[in-house]
Structures are given as C-alpha cells and as structure tokens.
Amino acid sequence: MQVFSSRTNHQWLEAAPPLPVGAAAAIPAVPGAPQIDDPALSEAKRALSDVLRCSNLVVLSGLGTSLCVQPATQGGGKAPTMRDLWQQIQAKQDAASVARTPPGPTFIQLLELVGHPQSMTDIEALMSRCRLAESFLTGAVKDEVVGFVSLAEAHIIAATNFVVQNHPLPIHTEFLRRAARRPQRKSRMKIFTTNYDRCYEEAGRQGRYVVVDGFSHTAPPTFDAIHFTYETVRRLGDTESFDPIPNSFLLYKLHGSVDWQRQEASGEITKWMQTGKPVLIYPRNSKYELAFEQPYLEMISAFQSAVREPDTGILVIGFGFNDNHLAEPIMSAIRSNLSLKIVVVSPGLAPWNNGQQQGDGECAANKYLGQLRNLASAGDARITLLNCGFEQMVPLVPDLAAETDLERHVARLRNIGAA
C-alpha cells in the first residue's frame, strides 16, 4: 500500500510489508516503549477518517470493487475485466460463426468489417465502432454487425450477473459495517456505482440493511426517484417520536443493473421481470450521451448535487476516471467546494516495477488523476491518493460506530450456518 498527499513530501509513501507469521512474537517487546505506527498506514487511516467524519459521505465505486469477489462455487463466475470481456466475446462470436450454415464472419473478420484494428483489444472502442458502422452499412453486412452487437450485449449481461444468493462477500459486508452506520446528525451514506452487478445489494441483504435504490416496496419493484427522498424510521413505543434506523444507505446504479428491465408498454423500469428490455449503459463512447436519459439522468443529477454539498467527503474506489461524465463533476467540485475532502483508491495509481516491466502508473496516464496528484503535491490537504485495492483499503477504514445488537445477532446466525 502506498499513499500520496500534501503530507508525504511530494512522493509516494510506502507501507512496510507485514511481518511473517510468528515473527512478531519472536521480537521482544520493550516495557514502556511507545507504539510506533507505520507512517504510510497512519496517513491513510487519517485521510479515510476525515472523509467518513464529514456530514455527507459519497462513495463512487467502480469495477475495482468487484474484482476481489471470489466465485460462489468452484468453477463459478467472477467479475470480468474489460480484457476478459474481449476474449469471451471473441470466443462467442467464433463459436456462433462455426455453428451457422454457411459459416458467418469470425471475430477477426468482423473487426475488418467495422475497421477496428486487431491490436487494440478494447471492447469499449469496438462496441463504439460497431454502433457507428450500423449507421452507414447496408444489407447483409449491416445485419452481421447488428447481430454481433446483440451477441456482445447479451454476453455482457450474463458475465456481470455473477452474484448469487448468499454469495460470499466479506469485503463488501465489512465495508458496509464500517461506513454505512452513520450518526443520526449526519446524512445517509450515498453509494454511486458504475457496476451492473448486485454486490452491494447482496451484501446489504446479508447484513440486514435497508438499501434505498429508488425502487418501490411493491411487486414488482418499480423505479421512481421519489423513493430516494424517503427515510426509514422506527417509532419509539406509543410516543410521537421517531428514530432513524442505523443500518441504511442509498445506492445509485449510474449505468444500470443486471436485474432492471424497461417494460415497453408502460415505459416503467422494474426488477426481476421476465419481460422487458435490459436497462444498462453498455461499454461504448456514447456513455456520456446515454447518461442523460432516464433513469440515468436521475442518478447523474443526484451525483452532481451530492459532490457540491458543504462538508462532503468523497471516497472513490476502483474507478479509473475514464468516464468523463463522472470525472468532470468531481473535478468541478474540487475547484469550487473548499470544504470537500476526497480519497481516491486504486491499485495502479503509483509508478510500478515488477523486475521485468515497469510503468508510470495511472496518475501519469490519466489527466484527471494527474491533476489530483499535482494538487496534492502543491499542498492541497483535501486530496489523498491510496495505491491499493478495495480489499486492502477496507481494514484501514475506521470503525466509527459501535457494532449493533442486530449485527452481532446476524453474525452469530451466519457462523452457525457456516458450521
């Protein structure tokens, strides 16, 4: 783990590697000697604590938060990377080509049809080029491209729908336990995620959280943004007093979800229906334009408003700042919101060297991340960069609220079921 902030003297401060098992016991303790914390870990914990103590907590979660999820069963699915999707869709197209009589275009031949270079293994760029090719191709060639887009989109839905009931999600569950339980005087945590999967919903269900995701409590659940303004409270006996429940957070799925469907007849968005069209913003360059359609417009508007609130802490996890429609509101808020604090967490931010290869890191390749690093280097104390994964960050998140009786009860039941 490495940390970069205005306190690290213009350099990435690296945490000392953990001691081997049994080594700590072999080192004799000096009675009365002060406990010396690792400087990098102390700085990371300080920054995370500052963000969580803000009146408004905003979490922007990207693909990196799902990569740590292990398959529920041996051989089960896990979160695909963009490179995984490229390889899987290539295999699907080649298999579909062989199954036809006469054979259809292979994946390589389809790349030639739309003019996509074989050396650029970028599924987002390919999907963008296919959509562009649909606008000027005609006849059988256009039909092949349309068929490929349908095949690719169907596979993306299937590949990202890897979370099953009771899926082991220890990292997400622990993160919610530490961050979602907020004092009554502070607003609910708002999680904005670009992922299609159901990691946060399932982790929230396992932890007995009330997940406010904009859907009604009816059958079937139907989306209406008014639900984000509702609060779940507990009546105190027979009095007129109400107490907000501790275990609740708001979840905004910025690019849609694998369990959302749009009903063509009514235009409503429902959950877990067998009919309707999937509601997702697929990887392509037109994501910015699609983000201003419903229901994505509601999510983007809420995100833009949230980052501009006074005394706001933003925790960005596993998001590469490659989506301009999300990166620009953050940069705008940093320029105008002086009470804002932000921590960016990703495993590829710092320069790296594995002995055989080396790289300058995402802060050198991405303009937004580069600006954040430069601002921190210039003395902006609001900005901290953590070079680590989601699973490495969660243990550093401070446990600000005591564990509730309900959480202890749920943990006991889970342990009994696992025994």
Domain extents for the chain? 2-10+37-70+166-418, 82-160
Q: How much is the average pLDDT of 113-119?
A: 92
SS3 313: strand
Q: What are phi and psi of 406, to 5 degrees?
A: -65, -40
CA distance 49 to 400: 8
Give the mean model confidence (pLDDT) for residues 6-35.
70
Q: How high is the pLDDT of residue 82?
A: 92
Asked whether residue 410 carries a pLDDT value surpassing 90, the answer given is: no
Cβ(126)–Cβ(82) under 8 Å?
no
- Write down the residue that tokens 């968005």 correspond to: 269
Contact between residue 335 and residue 307 where contact means Cβ atoms under 8 Å apart: no
Query: 364, 368, 375, 366: which is closest to 340 by C-alpha?
Result: 375
Check if the beta carbon of residue 192 is closer than 8 Å to that of residue 62: no
Could you tell me which residues come within 8 angstroms of residue 365 by beta carbon, excluding any fewer than 6 positions away? none
How is residue 211 written in tokens?
């997940």
Count how many Cα atoms sit within 13 Å of the Cα of residue 195 in the half-sphere of its side chain.
30
How is residue 168 annotated by DSSP?
A: -
Mean pLDDT of 73-102: 92
Mean pLDDT of 203-224: 94
- Which pTM was predicted? 0.90
pLDDT at residue 108, rounded to an integer: 96
Q: For residues 342-359, b (16+ Cβ closer than 10 Å) or e, as one string?
A: bbbbbbbbbeeeeeeeee
**pLDDT tens profile 258-313:** 999 999 889 899 998 888 899 998 888 777 777 778 889 899 999 999 999 999 99
CA distance 308 to 3: 25
Mean pLDDT within 4-24: 81
- Return d(Cα 114, Cα 97) in angstroms, integer: 17
Is the pLDDT at 29 greater than 90? The verdict is no
DSSP state string for 215-252: B-SSSS-BB-GGGGG---EEE-TTSS-EEE-SSEEEEE
Please give the class, per CATH, of domain 2-10+37-70+166-418: alpha beta
Average pLDDT over all residues of the chain:
90
Residue 25 has pLDDT above 90, yes or no: no
Residues 210-238, mean pLDDT to the nearest whole number = 91
Using a pLDDT cut of 70, give the percent of the chain over it. Answer: 91
* First vs last C-alpha separation in the chain: 34
- Given a cut of 90, whether residue 406 has pLDDT beyond it is no
- Encode pLDDT of 299-335 as tens digits: 999 999 999 999 999 999 999 999 989 999 999 999 9
Mark residue 83 as left, alpha or beta (left: phi above 0; alpha: psi -120 to 50; beta: remaining): alpha
Instruction: Please tell me the distance from the alpha carbon of residue 277 to that of residue 11, in angstroms, as a whole number.
Output: 49
**Measured at the alpha carbon of residue 391, what is the angle toward residues 74 and 171, in degrees to the nearest 5?**
65
Across the range 326-354, mean pLDDT stands at 94
Per-residue pLDDT, 234: 87
The rounded distance, in Å, linking the Cα atoms of 296 and 215 is 14
CA–CA distance, 334 with 330 (Å, rounded to integer): 6
Is the Cβ–Cβ distance between 148 and 184 less than 8 Å? Answer: no
How do beta strands 248-253 and 210-212 pair?
parallel
Q: What is the pLDDT of residues 123-159, one digit of tens each?
A: 999 999 999 999 889 999 999 999 999 999 999 999 9
Whether 396 and 179 have beta carbons less than 8 Å apart is answered as no
φ and ψ of 104, to 5 deg = -85, -175
